A and B are shown apart, each in its own frame.
Chain A
Amino acid sequence: MSGWSHFGHDADMGVRADGGTQEEVFEQMALGMTALITDPAGVAALEDVEITCEAPSTELLLVDWLNALVYEMAVRRMLFGRFAVKLDGTRLQGVASGERVDVHRHQPVVEVKGATYTALKFHRRDDGRWEAQCILDV
């Protein structure tokens, strides 16, 4: 069962996720980021936004993916609650599904300013599952 969790940082927030595949980890990290802002279950998947990124390593690709979502949320005034990711090496094609922010319904907590490289990890655990973590500046 894939999942995400939050961990504390003095100033900001950390997101950690695991999954059976790298794709699942990318999707779970995105859900974990949304959960910093609002309950992902309360975001209706009314509109799809396509996202493509490419980076020299999987860790950097994770930061690029999260930052691409931060950008789309900011310029579209949207929140995303569902994600689908396909990887081809370190090239990512993703779809983020969501809706426009409704302040009263979503009660958004914070804007994410960006994903950082501090404490950034993306690795395969001994049990064969994939795990990642990243600190987000809020």
Chain B
Amino acid sequence: MDRNLLIRESGFRWRIEPKGPMRVPGILYADESLIDGMDVKVHEQLSNVAMLPGIVSAAYAMPDAHWGYGFPIGGVAAFDPDAGGVVSAGGVGFDISCGVRTLLTGLPCAAIEPLKQRLADGLCRDIPAGVGSEGSISLDEQQMDAMLAGGARWAVEQGWGRAADLERIEEAGRAQGADPAQVSDRAKRRQRDEMGTLGSGNHYLEVQRVAEITEPAVASAFGLKLDDVVISIHCGSRGLGHQIGTEFLRDMAIAAAEYGIALPDRELACAPVSSPLGQRYLGAMRAGINCALANREIVTHLTRKTVMRLLPDATLDLLFDVSHNTCKEEWHVVDGRRMRLFVHRKGATRAFGPGHPELPAAVRDVGQPVLIGGSMGTASYVLVGTEKGEALSWSSACHGAGRAMSRHQATRTWGGRQLVRELAGRGILIRSPSMRGVAEEAPGAYKDVGRVVDVADAAGLARKVARLEPLICIKG
């Protein structure tokens, strides 16, 4: 992106002046190199978001922002329901509540080293991943509705997960206001055999080593120790979320004109929060969040079973679970006034600062763990929310590296088998059903996640706590 399109407000904050139908400015958090590497489409998409009715303060882009569909990936926007504000199916995307959770093993790296091959094979065998995979759990209609209403709490009640996990999940493991009746039969059918599956693309399960700690006090509060092993899981709401997104995008794109909304891009399909369509979407989308939370809880249960067979001393406590494709009803301070807003985060992570009342007691004093996924072969990071984040970006931070290269270009640049061999040489074991999938997810096809995290830290969105390096990666 040409820097001349932006006004530099401070070291890491850039502004798009409101022009034409833009109601608010666009604000990007980045350094010069990240701006230079961003597609100009991010500028266009952020400007489009700033045109939507009821948007408050600004349309924000996180340091990992890249060209998405409708919203940029890494986009954050809040809408005031009392000022005609909208909820946008395009602002949440297809993979509703896609997110990351990290489990602590309580074991040092040396304890798993002799078992690494067996652990990789066991996880690959026991965690369904990739196209066409099915979970071992099949839900009937009643169970489906109970899952959509109950989220991770439902999974725990069924014996798939631990009660202690729940306070370490956003909204204590269950999105309020979910309405399974608003989820179509087709969406439910698509999910019937997909509970406890990873999916494909950039979704993964990774065994990682805590390679560096930059905030010892916070790391200690999170239970992170240098050289310990953790396990991170990245997946979402599977077919159900995709189908909800598909159906509501269509309904909202067609209905926008009836609501007098001029869509600058059809993919920004939205409806007023207070409208019947907006309310139906919120009910369905929250059910989609619960599906993602239940799915990650079941994948966690399967992971624990496999790991504990080989490593019975592993604790496997949940550090935290964050979602990065959501719209959430939250209270924020705007010009000194507390307001109820609908905050869309598309490829962005909620990052509540210390003392936030919605945080569980265990982490309230230090702030929310913010989990940043890498791609296979690259580092992941644990950050912590800041007090400043509230004023900067509705308490939001980045979610990952973001692609630097299209999938198309990646397959022309790398071979899957060659990558697997190279990574094995660096001590990283890859297991995947598809070698072309590995090539598309090549570490070199992603931006430097370290730079993204450094900028998030420097801009004050979240503070860097620990760096995690991969040991085993199960790719979907």
* B-binding residues in A (CB < 8 A): 6-13, 37, 56, 60, 63-64, 67, 70-71, 74-75, 77, 100-101, 103, 107-111, 113-118, 120, 135, 137-138
Residues on the B chain within 8 Å of A37, using CB? 131
Q: Does B206 contact A (CB under 8 A)?
A: no
Residue in contact with B253 in the complex, picked from A10, A70, A101, A117, CB distance below 8 Å? A117
Question: Is the pair B408, A6 in contact by a Cβ cutoff of 8 Å?
Answer: yes
With beta carbons under 8 angstroms apart, the residue of A111, A113, A117, A138 that contacts B269 is A117
**Can you report 27 A-B residue pairs in the complex whose CB atoms are below 8 A from each other?**
A8-B408, A8-B409, A10-B39, A37-B131, A63-B250, A64-B250, A74-B190, A74-B242, A75-B190, A75-B192, A103-B133, A103-B434, A107-B435, A107-B436, A108-B434, A109-B131, A109-B200, A109-B436, A110-B437, A111-B131, A111-B201, A114-B243, A116-B70, A116-B267, A117-B265, A118-B266, A138-B200
CA distance A37 to B436 in the complex (A): 9
Q: Which residues from A are CB-within-8-Å of B131?
A: 37, 101, 103, 108-111
- Specify which chain A residues have a CB less than 8 angstroms from the CB of B199 in the assembled complex: 111
Say whether A109 contacts B434, CB under 8 Å: yes
| Contact yes or no, B201 A138, CB < 8 A | yes
With A101-B131, A137-B94 already in contact, the answer to whether A8 and B265 are too (CB < 8 A) is no
B76, CB-defined interface residue at 8 Å: no
- Known contacts A63-B250, A77-B132, A108-B132, A10 near B95 by CB under 8 Å: no
Q: Nearest Cβ in chain A — how far from B256, in angstroms? A: 11
Give chain B residues whose Cβ lies under 8 Å from the Cβ of A13. 406-408
Contact yes or no, A135 B433, CB < 8 A:
no
Additional A-B contacts beyond A6-B408, A10-B403 (11; CB < 8 A): A8-B407, A11-B66, A64-B250, A70-B242, A103-B433, A109-B434, A109-B436, A110-B200, A111-B199, A113-B245, A117-B265
Pairs A-B, 9 closest by C-beta atoms = A8-B406, A101-B132, A108-B131, A118-B69, A117-B266, A10-B67, A116-B69, A10-B66, A113-B94
Question: What does the 1/0 interface line of B246-272 toward A look like (CB < 8 Å)?
Answer: 100110011000000000011101000
B267 in contact with A118 (CB, 8 Å)? yes
Instruction: A72 to B239: give the CA distance in the assembly, Å.
Output: 11
A66 to chain B, nearest CB (A): 10
Q: Which residues of A contact B90 (CB under 8 A)?
A: 117
Complex contacts, A110 vs chain B, CB 8 Å:
131, 200-201, 407, 437, 440
Chain B positions within 8 Å of A101 at CB level: 131-132
Knowing A103-B130, A108-B131, A109-B200 touch, does A118 contact B245 (C-beta < 8 A)? no
Query: How large, as a class, is the contact surface on chain B?
Result: 35 or more
Residues of B within 8 A of A7 (CB): 408
Residue of A nearest to B93 (CB): A137
Q: Give Cα A9 to B409, complex, Å.
A: 10
Given A13-B406, A109-B437, A137-B93, A120 contacting B41 (CB threshold 8 A):
no
Contacting pair A107 B246 (CB below 8 A): no
Task: Tell me whether A77 and B95 are in contact (CB under 8 A).
Answer: no
Given that A11-B68, A137-B94 are known contacts, is A71 also in contact with B190, CB under 8 Å in the complex?
yes
Question: Is A109 touching B440 in the complex (CB atoms < 8 A)?
Answer: yes
- In whole Å, how far is B89's beta carbon from the nearest beta carbon of chain A? 11
Instruction: For A5, give the chain B residue with the smallest CB separation.
Output: B408
For residue A59, which residue of chain B has the nearest CB?
B266
Contact in complex: A113, B250 (CB < 8 Å): no
Asked if B321 is an interface residue, CB under 8 A from chain A, the answer is no
Q: With A75-B190, A117-B69 as given contacts, are A67 and B246 in contact (CB-CB < 8 Å)? A: yes
B53-74 interface code vs A (CB 8 A; 1 in, 0 out):
0000000000000111110010
Contact call A9/B67, Cβ cutoff below 8 A? yes
Contact with A along B25-43 (1 / 0, CB 8 A): 0000000000000010100
